[in-house]
Amino acid sequence: MFELLGIPPQALFGQLLLGLINGAFYAMLSLGLAVIFGLLNVINFTHGAQYMMGAFAAWMLLNYLGVPFWGALVIAPVIVAIIGMVIERTLLRRLYNLDHLYGLLLTFGLALIFEGLFRRQYGSSGLPYNNPLPGGTNLGFMFLPNYRAFVVVASLVVCFATWFVIERTKLGSYLRAATERPDLVQAFGIDVPRMITLTYGFGVGLAALAGVLAAPAYQVSPTMGSNLIIVVFAVVVIGGMGSIMGAILTGFGLGVVEGLTKVFYPEASSTVIFVIMAIVLMVKPAGLFGTAK
Amino acid sequence: MRFAAILLAATSLVGIGVAQAADPVPVKIGVLNDQSGLYADLGGPGSVWAAKKAVEDFGAAAKGLKVEVIAADHQNKADVGTSIARKWYDTEGVDVILDTPNSGVALAVSGVTQEKNKVFINSGAATSDLTGKACTPNTVHWTYDTWALANGTGKAIVKTGGDTWFFLTADYAFGHALERDTSKVVVDNGGKVVGSVKVPLNNADFSSFLLQAQSSKAKIIGLANAGGDTINSIKQASEYGIVEGGQKLAGLLIFLTDVHSLGLKTAQGLNLTSAWYWDQTDANRKFADEFAKANGGRRPTMVQAGVYSGVLHYLKAVEALKSAKDGAAVVAEMKKIPTDDPLFGKGEVRADGRHIHPMYLYEVKKPSESKGPWDYYILKATIPANEAFRPLSESDCPLVKKG
């Protein structure tokens, strides 16, 4: 029996796995942000609120309509994405030609409004959502709940699919072209405004999907998004704004780093990501995977 | 013309006379708590309602007091809390600050209150330091504290065989105090503390910490945290099969709203210590019904009931003194007259500022035993007032004279 840095290897493997699970949430949320920023040039501060709305949509579907978790996994993101697309059409669209700051202020304000509305209605301490996959597997070094295993797999699938669509398909190439030269792409007969609306809806849907996945693991509460979103922004900055692969890899990577901090020096676990962010910004201001424009 | 002038002078004199005869004693109550974060449901707007209700039930206007209640959100930040307290005391004429959960903020506000010679009646915060080494002649701690929680839940668990403990501790003044006080109870009763981990406040994912607790092999995992943190740790402990594995959770501070959030399915069987439960006496139920009517059907927590009871006692002292201006004098009066109100019954405010009353040990009902939302607790034991709080002989409060 050897020990690594004073921690038995069993515990270490367990913590690595837990880090991956948390990283799965970071990855999915930062992926949505990266897609929206990469293609729309909007810093979507409503992302945390949309994640929260995804969780609440799942809760409402279950409690008001009796739709179980697996149904909510599909329906809730669609509902939240539609709300997102309405926001894009009616509000965000007016700000594309202005400075980033305006989009940031608008989305930040919207986030506060959504959070306030849910708090008014449901209180701040949250609502219970039962685990759809109770039980777990004993891996020898740790007890892995079935649901957490499902979260990691689902998140990997979604992340890979998104990366594949954007980087390796024709649709993705249109999207990427539209961000570089929207006028030229439009000249080829592609409806760029609609593509942007759908892209925003997709990014928002990703946030909502993460929210649905979070509902059984955490508490469904109005502030769940604002607690997480700051970390996710740090993840996006470290990965490089707008870089799809960067968002995914840093999401999982930082989840692991944070998980290890929780063992070695738990008091710092809520700050370690920001320390890394500061270091990365000093050494590589465009982020680990970003390219300076 | 001359007549008119005389008349004018006369009316103005009468005017002054009337104003003097009916000049009510102005009292301004500030409820300073978490209005929007993780502690908002257990205090928050409900505490503001409770303070206003107490003013109304006291019949302040008929007794010559002109009472105004205002509120603010301290966002769980000590700097925000103290700057609001200073502004209230310096420029807005606030005489007393109520509630103030979050021990870190409470200790800071207590300091400001002493400096300005006002009154601080705390219901929401837990740290026993408020009436211990940080006690002041201006602070009264009303509802509960970490010593009482440790003495209630901690002792009960050690006595039933839970003698090895691992703590998950919220990393600020409250968690540290709760861990300290509970460890002492565990050790004094023949148990052992095998480890602890300090978790940042408002943490969403406890799995890593739970895993550490699991590998410690302690029989009891003590949750020295509160609100959303407690909810998430209990929920995730059930996910990781901690209880099936033979370890038990001890929620050291669990509020009614936490049980509501968890749902009985997850929370059933938990032991907890509380100063007050709405479904225990007719007076409590009456208060709870009125509370529910005004607060969207929610039932009050012990913190909100404590705000109500604290305001009543404060107003009694102000009525006796006919002035709210000298904070230390008001608190001295509060210590002089015995406490007596519908929710907390008869008791006293001790020399160290501690309000003394019985505490109760409850168990959370099984879903099958509950009649519906908010019907959650079964009374297991009553801890009499003279045993519920830290005895003065153990106090490190400088106000307490040691014989």
| Contact flag B207-A126 (C-beta cutoff 8 Å) | no
Q: What is the pLDDT of residue B374?
A: 94
Q: What is the pLDDT of residue B269?
A: 87
Does residue A68 register a pLDDT over 50? yes
| Residues of chain A neighbouring B266 (CB-CB closer than 8 A) | 128
SS3 assignment, position B197: strand
**What average pLDDT does this structure show over B395-400?**
91
Angstroms from A241 CA to nearest CA on chain B: 25
* Residue B290 burial (10 A CB sphere; 0-12, 13-18, 19+): middle
Q: CB neighbours of A222 closer than 8 A, spacing ≥ 6?
A: A52, A115, A116, A118, A119, A122, A124, A126
Smallest CA–CA distance from A116 into chain B, residue: B36
| Residues of chain A neighbouring B235 (CB-CB closer than 8 A) | 128, 218-219
| Contact flag A124-B44 (C-beta cutoff 8 Å) | yes
- Predicted confidence (pLDDT) per residue in B346-386, tens digit: 999 999 999 999 999 999 999 999 998 999 999 999 999 99
CA distance B382 to B359: 6
Nearest CB partner across the interface for A11, out of B36, B44, B215: B215
Does residue A2 register a pLDDT over 50? no
Q: Which two tokens stand for residue A10?
A: 């069993």
Smallest CA–CA distance from A259 into chain B, residue: B208
| Residues of chain B neighbouring A125 (CB-CB closer than 8 A) | 38, 40-42, 227-228, 231, 257-258, 260-261
Calculate the CA B329 to chain-centre distance.
23
Q: What is the pLDDT of residue B20?
A: 45
CA distance B362 to A1: 44
| Contact flag A119-B44 (C-beta cutoff 8 Å) | no
Nearest CB partner across the interface for B212, out of A263, A270, A271: A263
Q: Does residue A131 fall inside a structural domain? A: no
| Contact flag B203-A270 (C-beta cutoff 8 Å) | yes
| Residues of chain A neighbouring B241 (CB-CB closer than 8 A) | 135-136, 143, 145
Q: Which two tokens stand for residue A54?
A: 């995804």
Taking the model in full, what pTM does it have? 0.84
CA distance B262 to B54: 30
Q: Does residue A135 fall inside a structural domain? A: no
SS3 assignment, position B335: helix
Smallest CA–CA distance from B263 into chain A, residue: A128
* Structural domains counted in chain A: 1
**What average pLDDT does this structure show over B107-134?**
96
Q: What is the pLDDT of residue B242?
A: 87
- Predicted confidence (pLDDT) per residue in B178-233, tens digit: 999 999 999 999 999 999 999 998 888 898 899 889 888 999 999 999 988 898 89
Q: What is the pLDDT of residue B5?
A: 57
Q: Which two tokens stand for residue A283?
A: 């050494």
| Residues of chain B neighbouring A226 (CB-CB closer than 8 A) | none
| Beta-bridge partners for B379 | B362
Q: What is the pLDDT of residue A4?
A: 52
- Give the domain CATH number at A228: 1.10.3470
Does residue A285 register a pLDDT over 70? yes
Q: What is the pLDDT of residue B17?
A: 43
Tokens 């009931």 sit at which residue? B305
Give B18's pLDDT tier (boundaries 50, 70, 90): very low
- Domains of chain B and CATH, by start: 26-144+280-357 (3.40.50.2300), 147-274+359-388 (3.40.50.2300)
CA distances from A181 to A43, A44, A101, A102, A178 (A): 20, 22, 22, 22, 5
A40: number of Cβ within 10 Å: 22
Angstroms from B198 CA to nearest CA on chain A: 6
Nearest CB partner across the interface for B36, out of A15, A119, A269: A119
| Contact flag B235-A148 (C-beta cutoff 8 Å) | no
**What average pLDDT does this structure show over B55-74?**
94
Q: Does residue A1 fall inside a structural domain? A: no
Q: Would you say B123 and B276 are in contact if contact means Cβ atoms under 8 Å apart?
A: no
Angstroms from A213 CA to nearest CA on chain B: 14
Interface ipTM > 0.85: no
Please, what is the average pLDDT of chain B?
91
Q: Does residue A292 fall inside a structural domain? A: no
* C-alpha dihedral, A119 to A122 to A123 to A128, nearest 10°: -120
Q: What is the pLDDT of residue A186?
A: 87
CA distance A65 to A77: 16
| Interface residues from chain A to B (CB-CB < 8 Å) | 8, 10-11, 14-15, 18-19, 21-22, 119, 123-128, 130-131, 135-136, 142-143, 145, 147-148, 217-219, 221, 223-224, 227-228, 259, 262-263, 266-267, 269-271
| Contact flag A125-B245 (C-beta cutoff 8 Å) | no
Q: Does residue A206 fall inside a structural domain? A: yes
Q: Does residue A241 fall inside a structural domain? A: yes
Nearest CB partner across the interface for B266, out of A10, A128, A142: A128
Nearest CB partner across the interface for B239, out of A10, A131, A266: A131
| Contact flag B240-A136 (C-beta cutoff 8 Å) | yes
Q: Pick the residue of A59, A119, A124 with the most B CBs within 10 A to test the interface with B by mutation.
A: A124
- Predicted confidence (pLDDT) per residue in A177-213, tens digit: 887 788 888 898 888 889 899 999 999 999 999 999 9
Identify the H or E element spanning B27. strand B25-33
Smallest CA–CA distance from A118 into chain B, residue: B36
Does residue B19 register a pLDDT over 70? no
Q: In B179-207, which positions are buried (b, 16+ CB within 10 angstroms) versus exposed (e)? A: bbbbbbbbeeeebebeebbbbbbbbbbbb
B95: number of Cβ within 10 Å: 24
* C-alpha dihedral, A37 to A42 to A43 to A44, nearest 10°: -100
Q: Does residue A137 fall inside a structural domain? A: no
- Predicted confidence (pLDDT) per residue in A137-162, tens digit: 888 777 888 999 999 999 999 999 99
Tokens 């002038």 sit at which residue? B5
Q: What is the pLDDT of residue B294?
A: 94
| Contact flag A263-B208 (C-beta cutoff 8 Å) | yes
Q: Does residue A205 fall inside a structural domain? A: yes
Smallest CA–CA distance from A25 into chain B, residue: B205
| Contact flag B261-A127 (C-beta cutoff 8 Å) | yes
List the domain range (segments joined by +) for residue A153. Answer: 9-124+146-283
Q: Where are the alpha helices (DSSP H) in B139-281?
A: 146-149, 155-159, 173-188, 207-215, 227-239, 256-262, 264-267
Between A and B, how many CB-CB pairs are < 8 A? Answer: 110
| Contact flag A136-B40 (C-beta cutoff 8 Å) | no
Does residue B165 register a pLDDT over 50? yes
Q: CB neighbours of B363 closer than 8 A, spacing ≥ 6?
A: B269, B270, B271, B272, B377, B378, B380
